[in-house]
A = this chain, B = another copy of it.
Amino acid sequence: MIFIKRSNLNKLKIIYNKNKRSYSKLPNVLSNLLPTRTINNIITSSPVGAEIQVNGWIRTVRIQKNVSFASINDGTSVKGLQAILSNEVAKKLTTGTCVRLHGILVDSIGKEQTKELQVNKVEILGECDPTYPLQKKHHSMEFLRDITHLRFRSNIFSSMLRIRNSTMLGLQRFFQRNEFIQIHTPIITTSDCEGGGEVFKLTTSNITSKQEFFGKPVYLTVSGQLHAESISSYIPRVYSIGPIFRAENSFTSKHLSEFWMLESEISFITSLNDLYNFVENSIKYIIQFLLDNSYQDIDYFNQFIDNNLLNRLENTLKNPFITMSYNDAIDILKKNSFDISFGSPLQSDHEKFLSTTYCNSPLFVINYPKEIKPFYMRLNDDNKTVACTDLLFPKIGELVGGSLREERYSILENNIITKGLSLEDYKWYLDLRKFGSVPHGGFGMGIERFLLYITGLENIKDVIPFPRSAENCKF
C-alpha cells in the first residue's frame, strides 16, 4: 500500500445529508485543528488547576531570592502570562528566547493578572543571541522602524496588528450585513483614474525584445473606482479592500507609496446626503466594533501613546459629524485670515484649521468647484460644483473622499473632453452610461489613515507592517 496513513485526520466534522441535499450549518467555534494553543486562548478559557503547555517568547525574567518570574507572550494578548520558575531554570532564560513551558495554572497573588503558571518543565525551542535588540527598555518608534523585521515583537506593534486585524473584520461585517459583496479590482492597469498624481510603471525583468509584456504601457493602480463602477453597474452594492499605489516623492508622516484602501460603490443613490450619512455610519460602526472587540489593545494605546484616545473615540461615536459646503469653508477661512479664494483647492493647513481648530469634529466638506475635481464626479444643478465630499478628521486630514458619479452620458463625455483626456481610453467607461446607466455614488477610505485615528500613533509608517515610501523599501 503506497498511500500514507495519517493520524489526526478530519477533526472538523462535516455533516452532510445526501438525500436532502442539506448541509449542516458550520459550528461557531471550531474544535482545535492545531496541536498547540495560543496564550490568549489559555488565559481566557483554561481554569485554575489545569495542566497546560504554553508556547511563546520570554519577554522578561525577574530572579528573586527564592523563586523567579518570567513573563511569556506570543503576541495574541496584551499582557501574556506570568510563569513561576526555579531560579536555577530562570538563569538559563533570556529575553527573546522561544520556549515551551509545561505546568499548572494557579491563582495569582499579584495584581497584574488573575492566573499564572507554575512551571514544572521548560523546553527551549529557540535560543536568543545576546545581541537581540529588543531588551526591556523603551525603544523609540524610529529605532523600531529600523528593525522592521523584528518590530512585531514589541507590544506596540503586536497590538497595532491585532487592531488592524479587527478593522478588517469590522469592515467585512459592516458591508456584508448591508448586503454588499466584496470584489477585487485590478492592481495592474492601463488607466491612471484621476488623471493626476504620479504613478508607478511596470516593466518585466526578462525583456529580450522591445515588446512589452502586456502589449502596452501599464501602471500600478491609484484607485479601483472606475473598475468597481463596471461591476456596480449591475451589482448595486460592492466594496473592495486592496493595495493602492502613489509615486509621490513626499517624506511626510501621512503618506505612503503603497497603502490599503477601502473603496465602495453604491448604485441607486441619488443624493449626496445619502452618501455621507452612509460613510458616517460605516465609520461609527467600525469604531464601535473595535471598542467591542479590541478594547484591551485600544486601552493600551490610550495608556502609552495618547491619553486622550478613548475620549476622542467616544466623542466621535456620540456626536454627529459636521457638514459644510466648500463655499462656506472658503468664507470661514477668509474670515480667519487665510489667503485663499473661491476655486482654489483646500491645502492641508486649511483642512487642519477647519476640522481641528474650527470644528474640532470630523467634517464633511461638500460640493467643490468642478474645475478642481476629477471628470467622473456628478455635476450639480448650479453647473459650477460637483456632488462630492471630503471627510476631514482632526489631526488626520482627509480620511475619506467620495462623490456621486456622473451617470449622464453627454455630460460625462463632455467632462472627458474638457479635462483633456482621451475619449478612446474611456470608451468602456462611457459604455456603462450607454447601456442602462444607473445613478450611483461611492467613496474611498485609507485604511492606514483610519488606523492613525484609532491608535493615536503619529506616523503612518507605524500602522502598516512593511512601509514603502520614497527611498524606503526594506526587503
Contacts and interface: CB of A to CB of B under 8 A. Distances in A.
B14 A318 contact: yes
A33 B284 CA distance: 12
A267 B183 CA distance: 31
A26 B289 contact: yes
Contact of A473 (B125, B216, B324, B407): B216
Contacts of A12: 281, 284-285
A225 interface: no
B436 A292 contact: no
A289 B206 CA distance: 41
Interface stretch (A150-158, A380-388, A390-398, A411-419): A150-158
Given A149-B431, A214-B468, A437-B125, A332 B407 contact: no
A431 B150 contact: yes
A341 interface: no
A4 B281 contact: no
Contact of A215 (B178, B407, B471): B471
14 contacts: A12-B285, A23-B288, A33-B277, A98-B436, A128-B434, A129-B434, A149-B428, A150-B233, A158-B235, A172-B172, A184-B243, A187-B187, A188-B257, A189-B475
A356 interface: no
A234 B220 CA distance: 32
Interface stretch (A36-44, A84-92, A102-110, A452-460): A36-44
A465 interface: yes
A230 interface: yes
A42 to B, nearest CB: 11
A399 interface: no
A203 B205 contact: no
A125 to B, nearest CB: 6
Interface in A206-249: 206, 213-216, 218-220, 226-227, 230-231, 233-237, 242-243, 245, 247, 249
Nearest to A207: B201
Given A179-B40, A317-B16, A2 B74 contact: no
Contacts of A34: 178, 237, 266, 269, 274, 278
Contacts of A16: 288, 314, 317-318
Contact of A178 (B18, B30, B162, B178): B30
A161 interface: yes
Given A169-B176, A189-B473, 10 more contacts: A26-B288, A55-B267, A98-B436, A125-B437, A150-B435, A161-B181, A187-B220, A199-B204, A202-B202, A214-B257
A337 to B, nearest CB: 17
